Copies of this chain bind each other. A is one copy, B any other.
Amino acid sequence: MTATIPEGVESARDLVGPAIAAAVDQLSPEVRIVAAYHLGLADPAGRPTGRSGAGGKALRPALALLSARAAGAAPEHGVPAAAAVEFVHNFSLLHDDIMDGDTERRHRPTAWTVYGVGAAILAGDAMLALAQDLLLEGSAPQNIWASRCLSAAVQRLIAGQGADLAFERRDDVTLDECRQMAGDKTAALMACACSIGAIYVGAPADLAMGLAGFGAHVGLAFQLTDDLLGIWGAPEITGKPVRSDLRTRKKSLPVVAALTSGTEPARELGALLAQTEPLGEDELIRAAGLVEAAGGREWAEAEAEAALASADKCLAETDMPDNARAEFAAIAQFITTRQW
């Protein structure tokens, strides 16, 4: 099954891209060059690439605009909220790439490898501060609600990344802990993306909560899909090295599901990942096979399906225009069937 990007995602890029580029232009020269490179707006030397400011999959800004539409507003009215969510997402990518030592993202060298750790930390900091400021350009109460919604998501994002780092040093991570981590690290910002547009245009609380619930389930499905791609994804499509998550011994959901399955392959996998030397190609292939044999792959695929079903249920129970509901459903579907 081949997944195509829903139309709404491309049009979101067109609407939000200029807002992102304009905000980046406000940064000081040393910080701007790093931010523009990371976002795909410029090459390492700062020359414009001609691409839009919402690099990557741009799912979050699309969800935020759709969220404004779900509240009956024109998508343009959700642009600051969409740009803010995208800046927070990119702030976390910039900082996570440093912490995780990742050298490639979106088929390009990561910012810290090009400009140094210090410059990449600063560019992330600047994006976080920009995100909050974009939401406060108006002075209505909903500007504050949107900002606090984003702050809460940022704190969960940080909590999730903190747990992820701590897991690296532990060999007794439970599936519940791992699910909580994914909820914090990925689902919280997705829930925010799905509700912040509505909040920003002054929607009632029950709509915002219904959309946040949808986003939380979609976020979990997204992370499960990401974890599956991190092991079985095609590197030429994902833009990440093959079996990258096994190489770094990441305690991803399918890996932890396999490790805690109490099976013979689980014991073998545990012993393999406990080795202190780097894993060779043959060992990586064996590790992927063991995750599958221990049921980790099947479990993650079933969990992603279940999360998607829960997301659909939230959507059905939340009052919004039919065309907005259909687009949310299309993005959710894309998220679990994508190859990248």
Contacts and interface: CB of A to CB of B under 8 A. Distances in A.
Interface of A: 26-31, 91, 95, 98-100, 116-119, 121-122, 124-126, 128-130, 132-133, 136, 139, 141, 143-144, 147-148, 151-152, 154-155, 158-159, 161-163, 165-166, 184
A118 B99 contact: yes
A136 B148 contact: yes
Contact of A27 (B118, B119, B155): B155
Contacts of A121: 95, 98-99, 121
Contacts of A129: 128, 132, 151, 154-155, 158
A118 B132 contact: no
Give the copy number.
2
B117 A98 contact: yes
Contact of A28 (B27, B30, B151, B163): B163
B158 A126 contact: yes
A117 B118 CA distance: 11
B122 A28 contact: no
Contacts of A91: 125
Given A26-B155, A132-B132, A133-B155, 14 more contacts: A28-B159, A28-B184, A30-B165, A91-B125, A95-B121, A98-B121, A100-B118, A124-B125, A125-B128, A126-B155, A129-B155, A133-B148, A136-B151, A147-B147
Contacts of A136: 144, 147-148, 151
A124 B99 CA distance: 13
Task: Rank and list the top 6 A-B pairs by shortest CB-CB distance, nearest first.
Answer: A28-B159, A99-B118, A30-B162, A133-B151, A129-B154, A31-B162
Nearest to A147: B136
Identify which of A26, A136, A162 gathers the most chain B CB atoms within 10 Å of its CB. A162
Contacts of A126: 155, 158
B161 A122 contact: yes
